[in-house]
Amino acid sequence: GEAIIRPSSKSVSHLTVTWKVADGIYQHIDIKEEGKQHQFSLGKTLLIGTEEFEDLDEILARHIQPMAALARDVLSHKYYLDGKRAEDRDAIEGYLFDEKKRNPQRIPYTLTPSQDYPGKFVISYLPRNKARHEYMTVTPEGFRFRQQLFQSLETVLSWFKVHYREPPPG
């Protein structure tokens, strides 16, 4: 959950905040500066997308820290596969099939961070004999999953357990 803020390579009116999602996975977020007095000053208004911030501390408090807390919830969850990435599909599916053999009535699932899409985690699950993998995105407001926003990991997983049979939107 640590973060570093630095000048962006985009231009002098941009900063980049980089935060640690999981071991070896970092998300880079663009900050646009508006109302700069000169090249070396901080802009009066800072923007991430359309969201306005007054200073860097506010960005850390309202944007980065909430996402880092949600990511920590995933990393400490009992079905988080430590050391695996969402892109390790063969290993994840092997684990799911082993779990299904152990308990055929259960629908095993895992949570893994995406290396290719930092800030996203994947719920991998095995309802019958074909594994499925779906992304969920960490936002400052909660987890975005199947075009819905959930305040916590427990609420997204509770919803998922009821609705996993439904096809993902899109």
Classify residue 29: in a domain, yes or no.
Answer: yes
Do 151 and 101 sit in the same domain of this protein?
Answer: yes
Beta-bridged to residue 81, according to DSSP, are: none
Do 47 and 99 sit in the same domain of this protein?
Answer: no
Classify residue 84: in a domain, yes or no.
Answer: no
Do 94 and 69 sit in the same domain of this protein?
Answer: no
Do 106 and 143 sit in the same domain of this protein?
Answer: yes
CATH assignment of the domain containing 29 = 3.30.505.10
Q: What is the number of domains present in the chain?
A: 2
Q: Residue 110's domain spans which residues?
A: 89-163
Do 96 and 159 sit in the same domain of this protein?
Answer: yes
Q: pTM of this prediction?
A: 0.92
Do 116 and 60 sit in the same domain of this protein?
Answer: no
Count of C-beta atoms within a 10 Å radius of residue 50: 5
Classify residue 170: in a domain, yes or no.
Answer: no
Helix or strand (DSSP H, E) at 52: strand 51-53
* pLDDT at residue number 1: 63
pLDDT tens digits for range 73-128:
999 999 999 999 999 999 999 999 999 999 999 999 999 999 999 999 999 999 99
What mean pLDDT is reported for the chain?
A: 95
Boundary (domain end) residue, out of 35, 52, 75: 75
Beta-bridged to residue 28, according to DSSP, are: 18
Do 126 and 68 sit in the same domain of this protein?
Answer: no
pLDDT tens digits for range 123-145:
999 999 999 999 999 999 999 99
Boundary (domain end) residue, out of 28, 52, 75: 75
